[in-house]
Amino acid sequence: MGANVNSSFGESNSVIAPDESYILFCTSRPESNSIQQIYISFQIGENIWTKASPLGAEVNTEARAGSPTLSPDAKYLFFKKAKKPYRGIYWISTKIFEKLKPQNKY
């Protein structure tokens, strides 16, 4: 998947959209203060992926978001937060991905 997805910080718990348009995974990168967060990368061509981005404040907090899982229809993202007082399982609409999706510049 190349350097846009893979890093020296380690990636885990990946899940790919049913239509293979994006991949979600957990990582602890410097831009996230080395706290485990969920990142997304979009497939924009045959085996070409965008630079991975953290999902944002709706999902990622200091509570260590992880274990991304999609509903069968890919309309919802389920994830966990591992740190008190936020510890638990959460869900959110995958429509939040739209703001992270690359825009065609034609």
Mean pLDDT by 10 residues, the chain (106 residues): 86 95 93 87 93 91 92 97 91 95 69
pLDDT at 106: 38
Q: Is 106 exposed, middle or buried (0-12, 13-18, 19+ CB in 10 A)?
A: exposed
Angstrom distance (rounded) from CA 46 to CA 11 = 21
Strand bridging mode 65-70 / 11-16: unpaired
In the chain, where are the structural domains located?
A: 11-99
Quote the pTM value.
0.90
pLDDT at 89: 96
What's the one-letter identity of residue 93? Answer: S
